[in-house]
Amino acid sequence: MGVRYFQKDIETMPRAQLEALQLERLRRMVDYCYNNVPFYHKRLGEAGIEGGGKIKALSDVQYIPFTTKDDIRDNYPFGMMAVPMKDIVRIHASSGTTGKPTVGVYTQGDIDQWAQYMARVVTAAGVTAEDIIQISFGYGLFTGALGLHFGLEKIGATVIPASSGNSEKQLMMLRDFGVTGLVATPSYALYLGELVRESGYPQEAYAKLRHGILGSEGCTEEMRRRIEESLGVTVTDNYGMTELQGPGVSGECTERCGLHFNEDGFLPEVIDPDTLQPKGRGEAGELVVTTLTRQGMPVLRYRTKDITRLHYEPCACGRTHARMEKVMGRTDDMLIIKGVNVFPSQIESVLVGMDNVGPHYQLVVTRKNYLDRLEVKVELTDSSLLESFGELQGLQKRIHDKLRSVLGLETKVTLVEPKSLERFQGKAKRVQDLRNTKN
């Protein structure tokens, strides 16, 4: 039963046939946007593209103007909608922590298609109808929880809509309900792993756990290993965002050699974020995605701000759709300190692999006398280390030297007591940029 959403005719489609399907859907989508979304009618018209007839090859996608998060926010709430409100069955939105939220609207066709894409992703990750999956994402306007929920139900898995918070109750359900898989952010999964060790229950109480289906924030390989060790799961990553649909745009199979794009529904590109020109296959750059089947709010060439690579060789699992590497960083999360580009994921990779250091950290950026300064606050795993000045100084120097080697930048390293840094049940907020704060 568990493999029924391995849709062999689509997921193993020969490359030439898949690209022909994408071209047909791209042309149809350009027509659809031009005729039904005033924003795109104007934007495409200004670019001399009065419909899909101008698109002769997939490479012609480069002539379509980009769509950005600001475009969606400027058309808040429903200016990007392609159908009347009577045809909309659901509304989602991002958190809107940096301004107005980005809104996504869905027809019934969109909801059905979304569930199918998500069903493929969880099936590729090894989940079957025999599994019991606890969803510890927050339910509500956030797309993650309901996106995974409907995809998991579609393959016949048992779903526990735990939502976020109340961590003791989360552990109780993991033990008592025979849970085999956990859906959560990497940072919350890491926190639950800590609580499992401290719960007083033997590790066998959680022995049925096999799957860690993580998303909504980045997860380095080092953090993945730490989560797998603490929870006894195999972690797979999946990718999506409200602007494109939600989760289910791509996801890892059990080979874990990249996230398979659902390319019959999403056309991915990689561009140079500075010149905006296409990058060659296998080159790193900013991911740009066009939705090919979405009805309620189609999006053309959305700039995700995520840095990755795409690989087009068939996977050992048999799937032929392009695989994206784990996101290396976001152009809007990137810190520029003394002219050096710094991604939080680089720092995480250094810290998670070191002895006596916990996986929780915080970056504080300040400016003094016109010079930027980066402080990395690092949690110790054992408070007794604070009593040994020599050991503490040695650990601090090792972290400092390794960070300097990786970043090419001087940093201040501050070691703090275990569990003194904030834990997050949703997306972790690792960076405090105080450069524009008046002292």
The string of DSSP letters for 336-405 reads: EETTEEE-HHHHHHHHHTSTTEEEEEEEEEEEETTEEEEEEEEEES-GGGGG-HHHHHHHHHHHHHHHHH
Please give the pLDDT value at position 98: 46
Boundary (domain end) residue, out of 252, 285, 300:
300
Enter the tokens of residue 179. 């849970």
Q: Judge whether 187 lies within some domain.
A: yes
* Residue 86 CB partners (closer than 8 Å, separation 6+): none
Whole-number Å distance between alpha carbons of 101 and 94: 5
Question: 223 and 87, same structural domain?
Answer: yes
- Provide the 3-class DSSP secondary structure of residue 304: strand
Question: 95 and 204, same structural domain?
Answer: yes
Question: 181 and 74, same structural domain?
Answer: yes
Q: Judge whether 110 lies within some domain.
A: yes
Please give the pLDDT value at position 438: 56
Q: Which is nearest to 277 in space by CA: 267, 268, 269?
A: 269
φ, ψ (nearest 5 deg) of residue 426: -110, -140
CATH number assigned to the domain comprising residue 51: 3.40.50.12780
Question: 356 and 255, same structural domain?
Answer: no
Q: Judge whether 214 lies within some domain.
A: yes
Q: What is the pLDDT along the chain (439 residues), one digit of tens a residue?
A: 344 578 889 999 999 999 999 999 999 999 999 999 999 999 999 999 999 999 999 999 999 999 999 999 899 999 999 999 999 999 999 865 445 788 999 999 999 999 999 999 999 999 999 999 999 998 989 899 999 999 999 999 999 999 988 999 999 999 999 999 999 988 899 889 989 988 889 989 999 999 999 988 878 888 899 999 999 999 999 999 999 999 999 999 999 999 999 999 999 999 999 999 999 999 999 999 999 999 999 999 999 999 999 999 999 999 999 999 998 877 777 777 876 778 787 888 888 878 888 888 999 999 876 678 899 999 998 888 777 878 889 999 999 999 988 888 889 999 999 989 987 766 677 888 888 765 4
Burial (CB < 10 A; 0-12, 13-18, 19+), residue 218, is buried
Q: Judge whether 244 lies within some domain.
A: yes
Question: 212 and 342, same structural domain?
Answer: no
Question: 179 and 52, same structural domain?
Answer: yes
Please give the pLDDT value at position 3: 42
CATH number assigned to the domain comprising residue 366: 3.30.300.30
- The pTM of the full predicted model, rounded to 2 decimals, is 0.81
The 10 Å Cβ neighbour count of residue 164 is: 21
Whole-number Å distance between alpha carbons of 112 and 253: 22
Whole-number Å distance between alpha carbons of 330 and 206: 35
Our measurement of the distance from residue 310's CA atom to the centroid of its chain's CA atoms, rounded to an integer in Å, reads 15
Question: 252 and 344, same structural domain?
Answer: no
Q: Which residues pair with 376 in a beta bridge?
A: 363, 413
Q: Judge whether 313 lies within some domain.
A: no
Q: Judge whether 275 lies within some domain.
A: no
Please give the pLDDT value at position 389: 79
Q: What total number of domains does the chain contain?
A: 2
Whole-number Å distance between alpha carbons of 73 and 99: 8
Boundary (domain end) residue, out of 253, 282, 300:
300
Q: Judge whether 282 lies within some domain.
A: no
Enter the tokens of residue 164. 């976020």
Question: 228 and 85, same structural domain?
Answer: yes
Domain that holds residue 393: 335-433
Query: Using an 8 Å Cβ cutoff, are 181 and 134 in contact?
Result: yes
